Amino acid sequence: MIKAIEILECKPYYLICKFNNGEVKRLQCEIFLQSESNKIYTEKILNEAVFSTAKIGALGQVYWDNVAEMKDENGVSMVCEYDLSPEFVYGASVNV
C-alpha cells in the first residue's frame, strides 16, 4: 500500500511529499480545494496559515486538524480533520 511518509515542502497551494516507495511527488492542491463539491470542507484550508499546517497521518494520509465540520447522529456539529487519502495524494501528484 502506498503511503506518504514525509512532507518535504508545503507552500500555498502545493505539497511535495515523499512516499514509502522512495518517490517524491508534487500535489497541486488549489484546484480541488476550490471545487464547489469540496468548498464546505476546504474553505479554511485555503487560508495560507492553515494550509501550512498539513501533516502526515499514521495511514499515510495528508490531513489538516480542525478545519472540517460534521454532524453526529443527533445533529450536533463537531469540528474534525480534513484528510486526503494516500492513494489520492500519490495518484494526483506529479514526479519532482
Contact 57, 48 (CB under 8 A): no
End-to-end CA distance of the chain: 21
Give the β-pairing of 24-28 and 94-95.
antiparallel
Domains and CATH numbers, the chain: 4-95 (3.30.2020)
Is the pTM here over 0.75, yes or no? Answer: yes
What's the rounded mean pLDDT across residues 10-17?
96
Which pLDDT score, from 0 to 100, does residue 27 have?
98
The 10s digit of each residue's pLDDT in 35-53 is 877 777 788 898 999 999 9
The alpha carbons of the chain give a radius of gyration, in whole angstroms, of: 14
